[in-house]
Amino acid sequence: MIKVKTFATPIRIFETVRELEELDARVADFLNAEEAEAVYGISDTTTNGAEGETIGLVRTVVYEVEEED
């Protein structure tokens, strides 16, 4: 069964590397917990503030798990 999951994280200046590492870990933990058999796509999209600055990130993951009976 193909599934889609989104994750969101705020992005703060001077903390971006740590926040991205934490997001990577959250996604990896999720995929392990779901026992994903394959990952077909991962996409990142930024969210912007009123001044056009990047304030967040939305990561979408398309993955496959074993069919449920």
pLDDT in tens, 4-47: 999 999 988 888 899 999 999 999 999 999 999 999 999 999 99
For 51, which DSSP code? T
* The pLDDT value given to residue 67: 87
The tokens for 47 are 């969210």
The tokens for 32 are 């392990």
Contacts of 10 (CB under 8 A, 6+ apart): 19, 55, 56
* Residue 62 pLDDT greater than 80, yes or no: yes
* The pLDDT value given to residue 68: 78
Taking the C-alpha atoms of residue 48 and residue 50, their distance in angstroms, rounded to an integer, is 7
- The pTM score is 0.85
- Helix (H) or strand (E) segment spanning residue 34: helix 16-34
